Amino acid sequence: MILRRSKKTSPSPTSALTAEDVQRLAPFRHVPENLIRVICRNSHVILPQPGNWEPEHHDDELYFLLRGEMQFTAEHETPRKLRHDFPAANYPLPTHFKWSIKAAPDVEILAIPSRYLDLDNEAHASEQSLELTDDDISSEIYLQFYEAVKNDTFRLPSLPDIAVRIGKAIDDPNTQSEDIARLIQLDPSLAARVMGVVNSAAFGAAVPIRNLDQAVTRLGRQQVRNLVYSCIIKGLFRTSSAELKTIMRDLWRHSARVAAISFVLARVTPGLDPNRALLAGLIHDIGAIPILQMAQDMPQVKGKPELISNLINRLKGEVGAMALDAWNFDPELVALALEAEHWQRKGSALADDLDVVLLAQLHSFIGEKPNSVLPPIDQVPAFEKLALGQLTPQHSIGVLENAAKDIEEIERMLSAA
Answer whether 311's CB lies under 8 Å from 288's CB. Answer: no
103, β-bridge pairs: 51, 70
Q: Of the candidates 64, 95, 120, which is a domain's last residue? A: 120
CATH number of 312's domain = 1.10.3210.10
Q: Among residues 374, 227, 353, which one has the least CA distance to residue 284?
A: 353
Q: Taking the CA of residue 242 as centre, how many other CA atoms within 13 Å lie in the half-sphere pointing to its CB? A: 0
Q: Of the candidates 62, 88, 120, which is a domain's last residue? A: 120
Buried-exposed string 156-168: b where 16+ CB fall within 10 A, e elsewhere: beebeeebeebbe
CATH number of 110's domain = 2.60.120.10
Query: In this structure, is residue 226 part of a structural domain?
Result: yes
How much is the pTM?
Answer: 0.82
Q: By residue range, what is the domain housing residue 251? A: 137-415
Q: What pLDDT is recorded for position 276? A: 92
Answer whether 15's CB lies under 8 Å from 7's CB. Answer: no
Same domain for 29 and 97: yes
Helix (H) or strand (E) holding 148: helix 137-150
- Residue 45, amino acid: V
Beta pairing, strands 108-113 & 61-67 = antiparallel
DSSP-H helix ranges across 17-136: 19-23, 33-41, 118-128
Total number of domains in the chain: 2
111, β-bridge pairs: 44, 63
Q: What pLDDT is recorded for position 343? A: 93
Distance CA 21, CA 64 (A): 10
Same domain for 377 and 277: yes
Same domain for 311 and 202: yes
Buried-exposed string 271-294: b where 16+ CB fall within 10 A, e elsewhere: bbbbbbbbbbbbbbbbbbbbbbbb
Query: In this structure, is residue 3 part of a structural domain?
Result: no
Same domain for 19 and 61: yes
Phi, psi of 211 (to 5 degrees): -155, 170
Same domain for 375 and 261: yes
Distance CA 325, CA 105 (A): 41
Distance CA 275, CA 230 (A): 9
CA 228 to chain CA mean position, Å: 18
Ramachandran assignment for 157, one of left (phi > 0), alpha (psi -120 to 50 degrees), beta (any other):
beta
Same domain for 146 and 90: no
Q: What pLDDT is recorded for position 370? A: 54
Helix (H) or strand (E) holding 70: strand 69-73
Same domain for 143 and 111: no
Q: Of the candidates 120, 151, 181, which is a domain's last residue? A: 120
Query: In this structure, is residue 190 part of a structural domain?
Result: yes
Answer whether 308's CB lies under 8 Å from 301's CB. Answer: yes
Same domain for 273 and 180: yes
Same domain for 332 and 186: yes
Query: In this structure, is residue 125 part of a structural domain?
Result: no
Long-range contacts of 328-332 (CB under 8 A, 24+ apart): 328/167, 329/283
Same domain for 115 and 185: no
Same domain for 336 and 192: yes
Q: Going by C-beta distance under 8 Å and a sequence separation of 6 or more, which residues neighbour residue 340?
A: 284, 285, 317, 320, 354, 357, 358, 361
Answer whether 176's CB lies under 8 Å from 213's CB. Answer: no
Same domain for 143 and 107: no
Distance CA 142, CA 308 (A): 10
Q: pLDDT tens digits for the chain (417 residues)? A: 333 333 344 444 434 688 889 999 999 988 888 888 889 989 999 999 999 998 876 678 999 999 999 999 988 788 999 999 999 999 999 987 788 999 999 999 999 998 887 545 444 444 444 444 444 555 666 777 777 777 777 777 888 898 989 989 998 989 998 999 999 999 888 888 888 888 887 777 667 888 888 888 888 888 888 888 988 888 888 888 887 888 899 999 999 999 999 998 998 888 899 989 999 999 999 999 988 888 777 777 777 777 888 888 888 998 899 889 888 898 999 999 999 999 999 999 999 999 999 999 998 887 775 555 788 888 899 998 887 667 666 666 777 777 888 888 888 888 765
Query: In this structure, is residue 148 part of a structural domain?
Result: yes
Q: Among residues 370, 373, 364, which one has the least CA distance to residue 396?
A: 364
Query: In this structure, is residue 195 part of a structural domain?
Result: yes
Q: Among residues 100, 106, 107, which one has the least CA distance to residue 71?
A: 100
Query: In this structure, is residue 128 part of a structural domain?
Result: no
Q: Among residues 76, 72, 77, 75, which one has the least CA distance to residue 95?
A: 72
Query: In this structure, is residue 4 part of a structural domain?
Result: no
